[in-house]
Amino acid sequence: MAAPNTNRLLRRLTDLARSGLDTTQFTRATCETLATTIAYDFACLATTDPATGLITGTVKSHPGDPMDEQLARYEYEISDLNQFVELARRPVPVGVLELDTDGHPDRSLRYRDFLLPLLSLGHELRAVFRSAGATWGAIGLYRSTGSRGFTTAEIDTIAAVTTMIADGIRTALIVAPVTTAQLYGAGPAVLVLGPDDRLRLITPVAEDRVDALGGTIHGALPMPLLSLAAATRAASKNAAPAPAATRIRTPAGWISARAAPVTSSAEVVISLDQAGPREIVPMIAAGYGLTNREQDVTRLVLIGADNATIASRLYLSPYTVQDHLKSIFTKVGVTNRRQLTATIFFQQYAPHIGDPLNADGWFTSQSQKS
């Protein structure tokens, strides 16, 4: 049975998840709410792309912390203990470094080389937020050296709220439509990062998009790009498939970030483009909690396929298609195909209508709107 403090925390987080906040507002409020039940000296809550596990944004209890480059490297480029990808595979996606190393946290490179000497943080609790079969975010809670470690009761409390926080992140991704804020200029948006994550080359349009992601070319790059670069280097070094792309939600729309290693060097080339329906619709559908098959049905509905066509393409019976549609309508909160299309498509893209189209028939720029 959950403790009273855990129940109160769960109720507060449930209210937050239903309050219509965007992702930044929700994650910041979540950090503040967690602090009312579990004390910490530093916290970093990240949203992640459910398809790749890459970080798409962060909120910190101390916004001035400049350590994103190190965090990205220890998370994606260097093999270490209690990384988020490993926690996501656990039945209970929570790990306390001190407990998981039998009292020897210095077995962790992250702890030994980064947390302890640079930040004076002696205790770490990490958790992953899973829901609907996907990972939507993660958090690290830290206490300074000399403080008490995290207790079993606190671990249980975090474990009890991980799904609710994941649901809040899912909801936040889809509740707020895009704005008409100018984000996209003309021309390619490309940047090249050196082995030290310093910019080697950047196109003018990429400067605006880096800024839209919360970073600056003259200072710290945004965490989503640092994470993508670190994961790309690691994959190249290990001759493994890389998570070549990730999708990032901004107030003015979705950005698709793609990366590739430069041959015979540790440089990484990243392109930043306005994400199109093929990239965004799966994310929005997953945000509504649709299963993989329901997402398949939804994609065909959005291109105008009738039930017979959907049944033929997906090798389903018409009755099964209708059952899937009923479930989809319930989850999205609509009653028919037209409302489904309007909810998933127009709420996200209506502000772009009237922009020029590219060769793929998708919007290219807001800078030319009057």
pLDDT tens by residue, 138-148: 999 999 999 99
Q: Lowest mean pLDDT: which of 54-58, 68-72, 355-359?
A: 355-359
Q: For residue 197, what is the DSSP state?
A: S
Which 3 state secondary structure label does DSSP give 339? helix
The answer to whether 80 touches 110, Cβ cutoff 8 Å, is: yes
To the nearest 10 degrees (0 to 180), the angle between helices 307-314 and 318-332 is 110
More confident of the two residues 20 and 230: 230
Predicted pLDDT of residue 310: 95
Average pLDDT on 101-116 reads: 95
Alpha-carbon distances, residue 39 vs 10, 63, 143, 233 (angstroms): 16, 18, 8, 36
Secondary structure E strands in 23-163: 42-48, 55-60, 94-96, 121-131, 134-144
Residue 6 and residue 30: Cα distance in Å, rounded?
14
Residue 49 and residue 138: Cα distance in Å, rounded?
11
pLDDT tens by residue, 183-225: 555 668 999 999 989 999 999 889 888 888 887 767 778 999 9
The answer to whether 225 touches 207, Cβ cutoff 8 Å, is: no
Taking 70 as the threshold, does the pLDDT of residue 177 lie above it? no
CB proximity list for 302: less than 8 A, separation 6 or greater: 277, 281, 340, 341, 344, 345
Taking 90 as the threshold, does the pLDDT of residue 28 lie above it? yes
Please, which pLDDT band fits residue 279 given cuts at 50, 70 and 90? confident
Predicted pLDDT of residue 252: 72
Hey, how many other C-beta atoms are within 10 angstroms of the C-beta on 292? 10
The tokens for 313 are 């393409």
Q: With CA atoms as reference, report the closest residue to 287 among 360, 243, 225, 347.
A: 347
The answer to whether 148 touches 122, Cβ cutoff 8 Å, is: no
Average pLDDT on 45-70 reads: 87
Residue 257 and residue 20: Cα distance in Å, rounded?
26
Predicted pLDDT of residue 359: 46
Please, which pLDDT band fits residue 341 given cuts at 50, 70 and 90? confident
Average pLDDT on 72-98 reads: 95
Residue 266 and residue 270: Cα distance in Å, rounded?
13
Predicted pLDDT of residue 143: 97
Residue 112 and residue 122: Cα distance in Å, rounded?
10
pLDDT tens by residue, 300-335: 998 889 999 999 999 999 999 999 999 999 999 999
Please, which pLDDT band fits residue 20 given cuts at 50, 70 and 90? confident
Residue 249 and residue 252: Cα distance in Å, rounded?
8
Q: For residue 363, what is the DSSP state?
A: B
Residue 344 and residue 302: Cα distance in Å, rounded?
9
